[in-house]
A = this chain, B = another copy of it.
Amino acid sequence: MITISKENYLKSIYTLAKGNGNFVSLTELSKELNVTKSAVTEMSKKLYEQGCVKYVRYKGIKILPKGKKIALKVIRKHRLWELFLVETLNLSWDKVHLEAEKLEHFTSDFLIDTIDEYLKYPKLDPHGEPIPCKDGSYRYKINDIPMSECILGKTYKVTRVNDREEELVRYLSKIDIQLNREIKIIEKLKFDNSVIIEVNGVKHSLSSKLVDNIFLTKANG
């Protein structure tokens, strides 16, 4: 039986491994899911018994095709809901993640396919994350880097932001950062890993936390 809890574990395992089939540490997982390590150990055994993951004691956990399929389905539902809420109800991009986090577990395949069709099979969610297709493949390949890895003086285009923290996303709107916005890297401060950028002619200092959660590609190229 796949429960809501299991769906969330699989989603996290898949996401933490960044789509590769890498091993994920249980401590990492426990932090991501806000549960204790012992809870993760228990669940790891169950997911292993169901053939969703490979679980090696004291080593970690690794998603298997069966688990990946489930994870992608949930991620698909999540991202389509986010976009649907933005498109139909005009919700702002900082409000939709939390709603989708719940709705993703209670949406039939039929309903999500209807939403997919309604949105004309979109490639990206409101935060620039690619939306998995019905068959589990992606229509779009991400190819960007976090702002922390950007080169001084160059201009980039915003392709993706981490939607997990509402406040962070809301702050981005406030300083006029949105998808496809051009950003120039003015200064990189080593002592606190903050970055000074220019957006629409206005300079802003972004904390290390922000800098790790904004993803860019080179502009005009």
Residues of A with Cβ closer than 8 Å to B? 85, 88-89, 91, 95, 98-99, 102-103, 105-108, 110-111, 114-115, 118
Contacts and interface: CB of A to CB of B under 8 A. Distances in A.
Contacts of A98: 108
A78 to B, nearest CB: 13
Contacts of A114: 89, 91
Q: Which of A102, A106, A110, A118 has the most CB of B within 10 A?
A: A106
Contacts of A115: 89
A216 B85 CA distance: 36
Nearest to A114: B89
21 contacts: A85-B111, A88-B88, A88-B118, A89-B111, A89-B114, A89-B115, A89-B118, A91-B111, A91-B114, A95-B110, A98-B108, A99-B107, A99-B108, A99-B111, A102-B106, A102-B107, A103-B103, A103-B106, A103-B107, A105-B106, A106-B106
Given A85-B111, A103-B106, A105-B106, 8 more contacts: A88-B88, A88-B118, A89-B111, A89-B114, A89-B115, A95-B110, A99-B111, A106-B106
A62 to B, nearest CB: 30
Contacts of A105: 106
Contacts of A85: 111
A69 to B, nearest CB: 21
Contacts of A108: 98-99
A150 to B, nearest CB: 36
Q: Which of A85, A88, A98, A110 has the most CB of B within 10 A?
A: A88
A82 to B, nearest CB: 12
Contacts of A103: 103, 106-107
Contacts of A111: 85, 89, 91, 99
A76 to B, nearest CB: 17
